[in-house]
C-alpha cells in the first residue's frame, strides 16, 4: 500500500503554527509512523524560546531511500495552522504541491494557483468532538487522507511511541480525531 519497491517515494512536509497547537507532536507522530513502515525519516523542529504562543514548525521528510539532508527550502506539502505560518511558507510549496490549512484565524486566504489548497475546519471539528487536544490530530487525519504516506495503523502505533504510557488512555480519542479529520476532506 505505502511502500512499493518499483515506485520511489519521497515527501517533504512542513507543519507550522503557534507553540501549543501540537505542531511538533504531529510531526513526531508522523515520523514514528513512517519508521514503523520501514521508511527513512528526518524530523527537524524549529521554535522560538516562547514555547507556547510563539511560532513553531517542524520539517518531516519521509523517503524509501536515504535522505541526504534534513534541511530543505521547498516542500511537497504544508500543514498550516496560523496566518504567520501561511505568510512564511505558502511561497515555499513546490508547484503541484499541497497546502492544508485551518481557516480559523486566517485573515488572508492562500492565493497560489499552482498548488492544491485544502481548507480543513479543524477548530470547528475540535469543538464538535469536545476534545481540545485533538486539534492537531484532526489536521493529521486530513494529511493522511490527502497524502497516503503512512497508514492509520502505523500512526496509532506512532502515538503509542510518542505518548508517555500514562497517556495511552487518550489514544482512542486521538484516533477519533484523526478519523474526523479524514472525513473532512
Contact 2, 151 (CB under 8 A): yes
Query: What is the chain's length?
Result: 185
Neighbours of 178 (CB within 10 A): 26
Q: Which domains does the chain have, with CATH numbers?
A: 10-183 (3.40.920.10)
pLDDT band at 180, cuts 50/70/90? very high
Question: pTM of the prediction?
Answer: 0.90
Of the CA atoms within 13 Å of residue 35, those in its CB half-sphere come to 16
Per-residue pLDDT tens digits for 51-78: 556 689 999 999 999 998 888 999 999 9
Q: Which of 154, 147, 152, 157 is nearest to 176 (CA)?
A: 152
Instruction: Look at residue 49 in the predicted model and tell me its pLDDT.
Output: 61
Res. 1: pLDDT tops 80: no
pLDDT more than 90, % of the chain:
77
Grid cell listed for 91: 511561497
Q: Which of 18, 130, 146, 13 is nearest to 81 (CA)?
A: 18
Of 4-18, 92-106, 126-140, the range with the lowest mean pLDDT is 4-18
Res. 164: pLDDT tops 60: yes
Grid cell listed for 156: 496509532
Amino acid at each position: 500500500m505505502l511502500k512499493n519497491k518499483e515506485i520511489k517515494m519521497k515527501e517533504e512536509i512542513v507543519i507550522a503554527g503557534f507553540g501549543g497547537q501540537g505542531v511538533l507532536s504531529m510531526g513526531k507522530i508522523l515520523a514514528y509512523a513512517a519508521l514503523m513502515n520501514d521508511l527513512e525519516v528526518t524530523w527537524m523542529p524549529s521554535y522560538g524560546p516562547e514555547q507556547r504562543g510563539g511560532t513553531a514548525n517542524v520539517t518531516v521528510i519521509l523517503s524509501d531511500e536515504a535522505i541526504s539532508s534534513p534541511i530543505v527550502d521547498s516542500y511537497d506539502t504544508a500543514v498550516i495552522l496560523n496566518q504567520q505560518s501561511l505568510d512564511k511558507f505558502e511561497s515555499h510549496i513546490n508547484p503541484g504541491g499541497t497546502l492544508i490549512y485551518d481557516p480559523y484565524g486566517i485573515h488572508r486566504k492562500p492565493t497560489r494557483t499552482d498548488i492544491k489548497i485544502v481548507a480543513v475546519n479543524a477548530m470547528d471539528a475540535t469543538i464538535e468532538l469536545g476534545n481540545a487536544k485533538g486539534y492537531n490530530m484532526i489536521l493529521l487525519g486530513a494529511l493522511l487522507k490527502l497524502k497516503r504516506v503512512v497508514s492509520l495503523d502505523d500512526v496509532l502505533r506512532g502515538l503509542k511511541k510518542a505518548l508517555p504510557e500514562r497517556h495511552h488512555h487518550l489514544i482512542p480519542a486521538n484516533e477519533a480525531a484523526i478519523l474526523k479529520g479524514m472525513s473532512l476532506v
